[in-house]
Amino acid sequence: MKTTKLIFFAVLAFSCSAVTAQTVTITPKKTIYRRPKPEVDFKRTFTVRRPVAKAATPALSRKITLAISPEKVLELNIREEMGESQWLEEADYKVLFNQNGVLCIEQWMTGTAAYPDSSTKRVVVDIAKGVTVLPAVVFKDLPAFAKLVKKSQDAEIAAAKKEMKSDPDANPEELFEQANFTPDDFTEFSVDANGVTIYYDYGFPHVLEALQPSGEYHFTWMEIKQFVRADGLLARFVR
């Protein structure tokens, strides 16, 4: 009887550990920085809200927290912002996915130089290892995958050009002259329960950013099954 109980609790502990390893607790940490020599009054302070991870072990928690830090994802340099740069006003994040051993976070920052601007990035992390996952590690046959993305991009560009016909300031042919999704453009993606989203930046001039397409191409797991590496983190979604 005693042996049976020990086995039961051992199995229960293992099951709980396995479930915990599939997700990670993300807690926000907000910091308000005060510049010692602000150029103008509204640049006196800036705010950074960081995601802090709590995983199975302290070491793993630190690795994940570093991988999803704004310093890593957005290349934010606090020292420069406190000194001469003084562009940043706010940095924040949103958890997009946190299941099945995969963590996906979107981060953005806004600021002002000659004009207001912003930057948004997404990062995918292997919860078990605490490392950032790059497209080349989880996808295969990137040239063929790029052709699939290019079809979505072509449709997006066609729709955008149609809308731009009524705007006298827009020159669609010039704006989309360099737009061409290739394997080299697999630099950023996000994950959700239904599939993945691939991102592309058209790089429109600031004055025409309102006309820029989103450059977000979502594909279901079924649509991209042939491009998911069997030995990669995302294989669990297409088995």
Mean pLDDT of the chain: 91
Q: Is the pLDDT of residue 231 over 60?
A: yes
**Residue 40 CB contacts under 8 Å (≥ 6 apart), including other chains:** none
The pLDDT value recorded for residue 165 is 86
Taking the C-alpha atoms of residue 116 and residue 149, their distance in angstroms, rounded to an integer, is 31
In which band, very low, low, confident or very high, does the pLDDT at 169 lie, cut at 50, 70 and 90?
confident
**Residue 214 CB contacts under 8 Å (≥ 6 apart), including other chains:** 156
Q: Is the pLDDT of residue 7 over 60?
A: no
Q: How many C-alpha atoms does 9 have within 13 Å on its Cβ side?
A: 5
Of the chain, the end-to-end C-alpha distance in Å amounts to 39
Q: Is the pLDDT of residue 9 over 70?
A: no
Q: Average pLDDT for residues 80-84, to the nearest whole number?
A: 95
The pLDDT value recorded for residue 21 is 59
Nearest alpha-carbon partner for 148 in 203, 93, 208, 198: 198
**Ordered strands of the 102-112 beta sheet:** 25-34, 45-54, 88-99, 102-112, 116-126, 131-132
Of residues 31 and 168, the one with the higher pLDDT is 31
Contact present, 67 and 94 (Cβ < 8 Å): no
Q: Which two tokens stand for residue 141?
A: 């046959």
The pLDDT value recorded for residue 20 is 42
Q: What is the pLDDT of residues 84-101, one digit of tens each?
A: 999 999 999 999 999 999
CB atoms within 10 A of CB 132: 16
Contact present, 91 and 49 (Cβ < 8 Å): yes
Q: Which two tokens stand for residue 112?
A: 């002002």
Contact present, 52 and 25 (Cβ < 8 Å): no
The pLDDT value recorded for residue 71 is 98
Of residues 228 and 210, the one with the higher pLDDT is 228
In which band, very low, low, confident or very high, does the pLDDT at 157 lie, cut at 50, 70 and 90?
very high
What share of the chain has pLDDT > 70, as a percent?
91
